[in-house]
Structure 1
Amino acid sequence: MTDLDALRAQCPPPAVVPPAPDWIRVEGELGMRLPRDYKELVAAYGLGEFCGFLTLYQPGALSEWVDLTGPMPMWLRGQLDEIPSAARRPWSPPCNAADLFAMGVTGNGDHLFWDTRPHDAPDQWTVAVAERVRAPWFTYNGTVTAFLVDVLGGTTRVPWFPPGLLDDGVAFTPSRLRSRVPVTGLTTRSSISTRAIRDWARANGFELPDRGRVPLAIREAWEAAHAGGSADPV
């Protein structure tokens, strides 16, 4: 049984999934090959959240917040580069920032990265998780699909993931956006727009925590409401 087979058994994928990206074009745009397991994972599930908590970035995602080919991976790498060397020791990344490529995010604002060493062997890339950019790291010596299998199966515990993550069972919730919502101004968006999204969400009856990342479903609802008709919830 492959890791993807195991994940399908744990967490059934949606019945209908958007067509897989043009991987040749995507890899050309990124300037690197991507792991085979990741491409198979995207083809099987599409964009969405595992357990309402964990979202993998995907090429050309309808929201730039989770677009593998959008600004987020490079912006996060820039944030790592900006940490003063004297401040790195307590929470040093597992490798140089240039070797890390962001590919996922959680409801608490944790970021998932590939450790892209060796660069010419993507099927050997492993997973690194940061609670925040300037916080301790968790590393997983395996593919992102194997990581999902172990986390959703309860055999791997990321210390800062919620203790009750699996209490309501394991499920995958597909993304609700069906047309692209461009978002610009990333460096200021992280602070100003997040506050605006929280205020809008509460005013419109959504419940969300005071801290951490705004859940994908709420981001999508906000983007749909502010897109001038360019995005409609399903």
Structure 2
Amino acid sequence: MTTIDELIRLVPPPTEPVDAQGDWREVEAALGLGLPTDFKTLIERYGRGQFVDLITPLTPFGAHDLLIQRAQRLLDRERSFREKHPDECPYPFHPEPGGLLEWAGTDNGDSLCWLTKGEPDGWGVVVWNPRSVAYHAYDVGAVEFLHGWLSGRITTPILPDEVEMSPWFEPFREREHVYIKLSEGESPYLDRLWILRDALAPTADRGGCRDEDGERQDHFAATDLGWSLTYETVYDHQIRVAFPPEDEERVRVTLFDAARRMGCQVLSTTTRLGEPVWT
């Protein structure tokens, strides 16, 4: 059985986890059932945030109260579909006895659930894709499932096959998002990427892709700054950056200077909604 200490060795938690502390008795009273010990420890050590920019454990603490809110909506959300397609719903839904209860979600809209049969520390995990109505059950708890998937020991058709680099956890922070569209530079793409990352060092890889036309997209984090970036030519030649609001001027100055050293001109700067900024 995988312990929280093994997960911590694989993925170091934040020194100051967000929305990690509260009264578990109140949470369990609101849900009408106890919760697994390993999940409580997971929340207390990691808090609100994401594993590998994909999996978000549902902390019940803080202003958003993710765990209880989703639990209270689950049955009502699925009732109509189940009435029309009973054969495609093999499990009951919380608060029905032994029903599925979501403990984490993914950016792809998938749900990591417990099957709440028996004692909480014996609950297994069901990975559920509501879009394709696919369910895959695993006889492990939340922490063991996370460790197994992040280390490649557990696979599921619903989640990506494997994590291609050292896994990480990013604690939640309020962030602004800006897209910086650039002119083409004379230097090769990889040289421009190196200049950009050097201006933000130290950085850590967060994945990427290359399409059939050779266009690239590279994700990375400026680890000391707490900024997340994408440099790409897939959609546009641009830098996408997410940063704490109080860093806005520093981000603007740093990235404009990096663009100049990359041999590029800044053509436009917009929010994710396409609204002009920094003009």
- Taking structure 1 as the reference length, the TM-score comes to 0.68
Instruction: Rate the CA distance shift 1:27–1:177 in 2: closer, same or farther, 3 A.
Output: farther
Structure 1 counterpart of 2:59? 58
The residue aligned with 1:79 is 77
Contact kept? 1:36, 1:123, Cα under 8 Å? yes
Q: How far apart in 2 are the matches of 1:56 and 1:144?
A: 9
Counterpart residue number, 1:96: 92
Q: CA deviation at 1:32?
A: 1.4
1:39 counterpart letter in structure 2: K
Structure 1 residue 128: Cα displacement: 0.8
* Paired AA for residue 141 in structure 1: D
AA matched with 2:154: T
Asked if structure 2 preserves the Cα contact closer than 8 Å seen for 1:114 and 1:125, the reply is yes
Residue identity matched to 1:140: Y
The higher-RCO structure (CA 8 Å, 6+ apart) is: 1
Q: Distance in 1 between matches of 2:170 and 2:150?
A: 14
Matched, 1:176 2:173: yes
Whole-angstrom CA distance in 2 between matches of 1:148 and 1:84: 29
Match of 2:150 in 1: 152
Paired residue secondary structure (1:148): helix
1:126 to 124, 128, 137: 124
1:135 paired residue number: 133
Paired position in structure 1 for 2:112? 112
Amino acid at match of 2:126: A
Aligned residues: 178
Partner residue of 2:36?
Answer: 35
Larger Rg, first or second structure (1 or 2)? 2
Is 2:128–2:158's contact at 8 Å kept on the other side of the alignment?
no
Does the CA contact (< 8 Å) of 1:60 and 1:69 recur in 2? no
Q: Provide the identity percentage.
A: 29
Structure 2 Cα separation of the partners of residues 169 and 33 of structure 1: 33
**Hey, what's the Cα distance between the residues in 2 that align with 1:77 and 1:61?**
24
Structure 1 or 2: more helix by fraction:
1
Alpha-carbon distance in structure 2 between the residues aligned to 1:13 and 1:131: 27
Counterpart CA distance in 2 for 1:85 and 1:4 is 39
Closer, same or farther: CA 61–88 of 1 in aligned 2, 3 Å: farther
* CA apart distance, 1:75: 1.8
The aligned residue for residue 205 of structure 1 is 179
Call closer, same or farther: CA 1:144–1:69 in 2, change over 3 Å.
same
> For the Cα contact (< 8 Å) 1:26–1:69, is it kept in 2?
yes
**Which amino acid in 1 is paired with 2:163?**
L
Q: Distance in 1 between matches of 2:48 and 2:148?
A: 20
**CA distance in 2: counterparts of 1:124 and 1:68, whole angstroms:** 19
Q: CA deviation at 1:17?
A: 2.1
Most deviating of 45-54 and 132-141: 132-141
RMSD between aligned residues: 2.6
Residue aligning to 1:68 = 67
Give the C-alpha shift of residue 150 in structure 1.
Answer: 0.6
Q: What TM-score does the superposition give when structure 2 sets the normalisation length?
A: 0.57
Displacement of 1:177 in angstroms is 4.0
Q: Are residues 60 and 162 of structure 1, via their aligned partners in 2, closer, same or farther at CA, if it must alter by over 3 Å? A: same
2:63 and 2:168 map into 1 onto residues whose CA distance is 21
Matches of 2:115 and 2:30, distance apart in 1: 19
Deviation, structure 1 residue 156? 0.9
For structure 1, list consecutive stretches of 5 or more residues without a partner in the other structure. Answer: 179-199, 207-216, 225-234
Partners of 2:151 and 2:40 in 1: CA distance: 21
